[in-house]
Each structure stands twice: as structure tokens, then as C-alpha cells.
Amino acid sequence: MEIEIVVLIALGMAVWWWFKKKASSSGSAAVKPASIPEVRVTVAPSTRATLEEVEQPRDVGRLTEAGDGAWVLNPLSPLPMTLQGADRALAQQVKEVLGRREQWDMKVPELALLIAKHNLRFKEVDDLAIQLKPKYDAHIQRRIKASPDWADASEKDRADLLTEFREEALEAMGMDVGHADLATLLQGPPATFQADDELLHRFDKDLDLYPFYLTQLGRANAVVTVKADDWGRKSWERLADKGMALRGKDIPWEPSWKACASRI
């Protein structure tokens, strides 16, 4: 990156010099065609890390025990993360997933599965929610009281208004956490972290199928067409074998004006 900056500065100075020289001679009656000056760029070696060195994984420190089932995953990082509710082996597994050199989206399913299966918590995430929630709730309550539509709104309309108020609250706090759903976090913890344990138990011997199952729960249509060469065909068949999906004649029939049921 530093090399590119040096090149751009040198080229910029050369172009500036050429235009300045051309402008100073514009008062003559006859102007000779200006020749473009030769640009010579000398790049000195950078004292900073090379690209290969930058790409090397940063040493964030060894897994460090913090007591009561808590583990600091990256003690040497500017933003240490403390995992709670895990033994050493599980904490090390989470650390390795986070430390792998791959795109973040590729880590999410495996990490989410570990968190859900073992009911893990991150101290810093909980602390952030505790810190932001009062301000978040106060903004929403102010908007509800000031809204002329809230009192007479239906349950569905109130849900729409709440979505709007929550987005406004996040913007007012100036918080940007990428793809994370901060609004869900600030609405408070679930009644029980064990609510999905029975569901996870059904995937004990097929854990890689669980993320696929979760991605299908939010589909707009309950019935989908899955062709023989579809990338998810095998996953759908495995879900059907587990009783987590219906296929073919097992799909309840509905009149065409109510639903269009395609079968796999």
C-alpha cells in the first residue's frame, strides 16, 4: 500500500508541474505543443511489514483461564473476548474456529452451532448489551409516547412501528456492528438458553445438517421445489429421513388457490 501512495504522489507532482508550465506560457501568440515531461519514479524500500508479513496470523496470545468456566480467547488482542460456560477443550475449539484464515461467513455456521449446542456466552457481548439497553429502551419509549398512531394501532401496525422505532434507536446510538442483529440482542436474553436443546439433540450425529435446517426456517414458502441436481437436494433428503421435512405424497394437499405445493 505504501508503494502505491509513493507512485501516486510522484505522478501527481509531475502532472501538476506540467500543467503549471503550460499555463505560464499561455500568454504567447504562438504556443508550441507542450511535451509531456518524462516521469521517473524511485521507490524506496518500506520500513513497514511486507504484504506477506501482514497476511501472517497475528499472535493474540494463548488461551487463558479466567475462573468459573471463563476463558480469555485472545489476551494479547486490543479487544479481548471472554468465553463463559466452557471447559478448556471447548474454549480451545472456539478459539481455533475464530483464528482460522478464511472468510467470516464460512465460520459463522460452525461457531453458531457451538454456541447453541453448549449455551455459550461472551462476557463482552453481555456487557455491551447491559450498557446500551437503557438508552435503547428510553429512545423507543419516547417514540411510542410521541407517536399519534400508537394508541389506536392494531397489533400488526404496532409491530411495524416498533421495527421503525428500533432502527431509529440504533441510528441514534451510532452503533454499527456489521451483519450482527444488535436490535435482537438489546431486546433482552431469551427466557431460557436451553429452549433449543431438544432440537439440537435430534442433530447430535448429524451436526453439519443443523445450519442448513436453520437457513430453511425463514423461507417465505413452506413448500419448495428441489430438483434432483439441486445443491441442497441431499440435505433435504436427510431432513426428511429425520422427520424434519416432508416430501412427495406426505405433503398435505391444499387447493391451488391457497398454495402451490411442489414435491421433491
d(CA 215, CA 219): 8
Strand blocks (E) in the chain: 64-67, 70-72, 82-84, 121-122
The reported pLDDT for the residue numbered 25 is 41
Would you state the cell numbers that stand for residue 130, as one nine-digit string?
447491559
The reported pLDDT for the residue numbered 16 is 35
Query: In 3-state terms, the chain is what percent helix, strand and coil (to 5)?
Result: 50, 5, 45
Q: Is the pLDDT of residue 184 over 60?
A: yes
pTM over 0.85: no
What's the average model confidence in pLDDT over 10-32? 37
Question: Which range is least confidently modeled, 5-19, 79-93, 131-145?
Answer: 5-19
Q: Is the pLDDT of residue 84 over 90?
A: yes
What's the average model confidence in pLDDT over 125-135? 92
CA dihedral defined by 184, 186, 192, 194, rounded to 10 degrees? 50
What's the average model confidence in pLDDT over 160-168? 93
DSSP, res 40? -
DSSP, res 103? -
User: What integer best gives the mean pLDDT of the chain?
Assistant: 75
Q: Is the pLDDT of residue 109 over 80?
A: no
Q: In 174-251, where does DSSP find H-type helix?
A: 182-186, 197-201, 209-217, 233-241
Cβ–Cβ under 8 Å, residues 115 and 126: no
- Helix (H/G/I), strand (E/B), else coil: 138: helix
